[in-house]
Amino acid sequence: MTFSIGLAGTLPADVVRRVAPVVEGLGFRALWVNDTPGGDALVALAAAAEVTSTLTLATGVLALDRRSGAQIAERVRDLPVERVRLGIGTGQARHGLALLERGVADLRNGCAAPILIGALGPRTRALAARIADGILFTWLTPAAAAAMAQLHADADGRAVEGVLYARTIVSPEARPALEAEAARYASYPQYAANFARLGIDPMHTTIDVSRPGSAGAFEAEVDEVVLRLITATGDVDELIRAVGTASAAIESADLPPGSPA
């Protein structure tokens, strides 16, 4: 298992340029960026590419209801594609499985980057195991993510990577922001249904590095854990400190961050 850092797609490019070299220097595998309305993960990753040389650049996730696989592939050509991993999802689209199949086909035709599918329900996970290179789990406890990754491991004799995307704070001051984030996702019907189906409290899927015993949350049996950092103010210096604190917490748990890929 390796560790990566996740950032919000709404962060300005100059902030990403400051944070990305710190993430690379501390040995994290990748920098993942959310793609959300009001933010563009590919713009952020282009900024990160300018100031790093080995750090993997990943999206979590690009919604196919906002841009097609062909459009994504065209834009990825401007990035160092050998360092890119593309997380994709359905967004708010109906008939999401068909959209994912078309999107993956277009991406395979247009670029060589590995593809991971953000998957909540069992049908989407099964599809991801069949056509993608990995499954991106979010808002799951480590135990639930590990169980689902094992369920879909080596589908059709083909290794499928499991990545857990976990909202993470490193100080008590950031807890209100974390709770607000959890409440926001719990208000979305598809996430609410998933929480109910699995009997999961969304806050139990998060990591609070400042609390005793938090190291156990790092021990998920998946291939990679993405620490999607949430801070109290969003200040760039606070964010950089959070990256360092997360790295120190992993080291104190005797779990190396993992070498860049």
CATH number at residue 53: 3.20.20.30
The pLDDT tens digits for 56-107 are: 999 999 999 999 999 999 999 999 999 999 999 998 888 899 999 999 999 9
Q: What is the rounded average pLDDT of the residues 128-135?
A: 94
Does residue 200 lie within any of the structural domains?
Answer: yes
Domain-embedded: residue 130: yes
Supply the mean pLDDT for the chain: 91
Domains identified in the chain, total number = 1
Q: Pick from 90, 81, 84: which is nearest to 31 by CA?
A: 84
Mean pLDDT across 216-227: 81
Residue 258 lies in a domain: no
The amino acid at residue 183 is: A
Give percent above pLDDT 70 in the chain.
92
Q: What is the rounded distance in angstroms from the CA atom of residue 221 to the CA atom of residue 147?
A: 8
Range of the domain at 245: 2-252
Give the pLDDT score at 256.
Answer: 47
Q: What interhelical angle do 236-252 and 13-25 show, nearest 10?
A: 20
Buried b or exposed e, range 33-68, using 16+ CB within 10 angstroms: bbbeeebbbbbbbbbbbeebeebbbbbbbbbbeebb
Residue 205 forms part of a structural domain: yes
Taking only the tens place, the pLDDT of each residue in 9-34 is: 999 999 999 999 999 999 999 999 99
* Residue 261 covered by a domain: no
A 10 A CB-CB count for 28 gives 26
Q: Does some domain include residue 259?
A: no
C-alpha separations of 63 from 39, 48, 72, 121, 142 in Å: 12, 21, 10, 16, 24
37 versus 166: the higher-pLDDT residue is: 166
Q: Is 257 within the bounds of a domain?
A: no
Q: Looking at the domain assignment, is residue 67 inside a domain? A: yes
